[in-house]
Amino acid sequence: MSGAQQHPYHLVEPSPWPAVGAAAAFVMAIGGIMFMHQRDFGPHVLGLGLGLVLLTMFMWWRDIIREAEYQGHHTPIVQIGMRYGMMLFIASEVMFFVAFFWAFFDRAFYPVGGVWPPEGIETFNAFDLPLINTLILLLSGCTVTWAHHALVHDNRRDFINGLFITILLGALFTALQAVEYDHAAFSFTDGIYPSVFFMATGFHGFHVIIGTLFLTVCLFRGLKGHFTSEQHFGFEAAAWYWHFVDVVWLFLFVAVYWWGA
């Protein structure tokens, strides 16, 4: 009768962001397809979709941070559900990359013309820039683990430092991958190898950008005093996501850059 909550669960209020996020992702996908096929206004549609996705991320994160930090809705039992949700989300992302790897290995084992990579395709040297990027991502996995360990032990200085270094390494990875693409001896439309290469590595690069933004939000929250040694699932989820990005890149490096070339 008093209106007080008598259970530890969080009954989520109606939110526009799932629908807005789905529409934004659809616009971005259409823009990406138009851009890849060199259609008019492709970059504009892609930019519009990306802007809407970023806006959705900002607004949705704002609401969830408010629920966690100021309204106290993220009780231990709610966090269990959120952990399962993050695990299932990462599992669904794994399926995306399984499709790209399947396409790559299918063409590699049964190439048209009996040659893989196809004739005329000059592949990257795996032990040049790709190896540097691999070392950068592996190091970033160490620094985010350092940050997590520091937070668990209430060492906020090392938590902030480790998180900041991880973000810098993520940005450096993205910059070096852009340099790599700029020096590619093939373009997206030059056949099956370039198509699968750019889709797999580009999709991973997109995940690195998302993960870097995720960690950047955690950094700003950490600077504002958010997260405690007992309750920090927002950062923990970002760390999980970053380790997932690391592991996928190792598979890409070994399969696409090294073995596939």
What digits encode the pLDDT tens for the residues 75-133? 888 889 999 999 999 999 999 999 999 999 998 998 887 888 888 888 899 999 999 99
Q: CA-CA distance, 24 to 57, in Å (whole number)?
A: 10
Of 66, 71, 39, which Cα lies nearest the Cα of 189? 39
pLDDT of residue 200: 93
Could you tell me the CA-to-CA distances from 36 to 46, 58, 192 in Å, in that order? Answer: 10, 27, 14
- Which H/E stretch holds residue 99? helix 76-109
Q: What is the pLDDT of residue 132?
A: 96
- What is the average per-residue pLDDT within 13-32? 93
Q: Report pLDDT for 142.
A: 96
Reference 177, options 227, 219, 136; nearest CA is: 136
Instruction: Check residue 10 and give its pLDDT.
Output: 74
Q: What is the pLDDT of residue 231?
A: 84
Which architecture, in CATH terms, is 1-73? Orthogonal Bundle (1.10)
Residue 221 tokens read as: 């929250």
pLDDT tier at 4 (50, 70, 90 boundaries)? low
| Domain residue spans of the chain | 1-73, 76-259
Do the Cβ atoms of 143 and 202 come closer than 8 Å?
no
Highest mean pLDDT among 9-13, 33-37, 93-97, 112-116: 93-97
Mean per-residue pLDDT for 230-254?
94
Place of tokens 């063409």: 107
Residue 1: pLDDT over 60: no
**Alpha helices (H) along 188-232:** 192-223
**CATH 3.20.20.140 correct for 76-259:** no
138 pLDDT above the threshold of 90: yes
The contacts of residue 101 (CB under 8 Å, 6+ apart) are 200, 251, 255
The 3-class secondary structure across 17-63, one letter per residue, is HHHHHHHHHHHHHHHHHHHHCCCCCHHHHHHHHHHHHHHHHHHHHHH
Mean pLDDT for the chain overall: 91
Asked whether the beta carbons of 48 and 27 are under 8 A apart, the reply is yes
Q: What pLDDT does 192 receive? A: 87
Task: Please tell me the predicted confidence (pLDDT) of residue 2.
Answer: 55
Question: What pLDDT is stored for residue 188 in this prediction?
Answer: 81
Q: What angle do CA 164, 168, 170 make, to 5 degrees?
A: 115
In which residue are the tokens 């669904």 written?
A: 92
pLDDT single digits (tens) 40-66: 888 999 999 999 998 998 999 899 888
Q: How much is the pLDDT for 174? A: 97
Asked if 93 contacts 165 with a C-beta cutoff of 8 angstroms, the reply is no
10-42 exposure pattern, b = at least 16 Cβ within 10 A, e = fewer: beeeeeebeebbeebeebbebbbebbbeeeeeb
pLDDT (average), residues 227-232: 87
Q: Please report which confidence band the pLDDT of residue 256 belongs to, taking 50, 70 and 90 as the band edges.
A: very high
